[in-house]
Amino acid sequence: MLTSIGPALSDPYLKNIANVEMEPSAKPISKLEFEFERRKITKVEIRELIYREILEYHPNMLKEYFDGPQPTSLKNLSNIIHLQFSFIAIIR
C-alpha cells in the first residue's frame, strides 16, 4: 500500500515523534531532474564518470585534466590505472 508522507507521519505509531505541522514541505521534483537515470551509457563513459569523480578529490590533478588536451578514452583508462597504483602506493 502506497501512501504520501503526510498520512504516514500522522499514523498513531509515530504520534510521539512526528509533528506534521513542523515537517518541511516542497514542490514535487520535476522528472527532468532525473533524466540522467534514463540515459544509456557505455562502459567507457562509466569509467570516465568514475575518473572525473575521483578527480574531484584531487584538485591538482583535476586542474591538469581540464587544462590539458581533451584525453581519449584509452588515455582515460590509462589514467585510471595510474591513479589506482597511486592510491595503492599511498595506502602502503
How many whole angstroms separate alpha carbon 58 and alpha carbon 52? Answer: 10
All three cell numbers of 88, joined, read 595503492
Q: What is the mean pLDDT of each run of 10 residues along the chain (92 residues)?
A: 73 75 78 78 84 84 74 57 68 60
How confident is the model at residue 76, as a pLDDT?
59
Torsion angle (degrees, nearest 10) of CA 68, 53, 36, 6? -150
How many whole angstroms separate alpha carbon 68 and alpha carbon 71? Answer: 8
Q: Is the pTM of this model over 0.85?
A: no
Chain-centre distance of CA 88, in angstroms? 24
Is the CB of residue 47 less than 8 Å from the CB of residue 76?
yes
**DSSP-assigned letter for residue 73:** H
